[in-house]
Structure 1
Amino acid sequence: MGAKAGITYVNFSAIGAAVHLPFGGVKQISNGHREGSQAVLGVFTEWKTLYIDYSGRLQKAQINKK
């Protein structure tokens, strides 16, 4: 006799979920969601690039021409 389940815990206080692994169960035993992994960061995130100049020098784009 065996248990047919996606995840089975016996006498364990934590669920053991890890952010870098997808979670969703197997076969028909699942909550249907696999949004628990780093792979979905690109789906739910709008990526931006930011350049920061720590030199303190005045750049050409900052010069106000009047």
Structure 2
Amino acid sequence: MNHFAALFLACILAGFALLKMPTIGFLAALYPFFHIVGALAILIFAFALIYYGLKALFKK
């Protein structure tokens, strides 16, 4: 399970990188797409970390 936590944290950081990406050149047209994908990555993997944390906390 430890390797999943590190992977999820890396995915959250990648989502923040997509949100902070500068809009230059031909990537400027794709900015809304990157913004949506970055926000979804942050939310999905944050909820996954919370789920696994609660699952480990209440494990019998």
TM-score normalized by the length of structure 2: 0.27
Larger RCO: 1 or 2 (CA < 8 Å, sep 6+): 2
User: Which structure shows the higher helix fraction?
Assistant: 2
TM-score normalized by the length of structure 1: 0.26
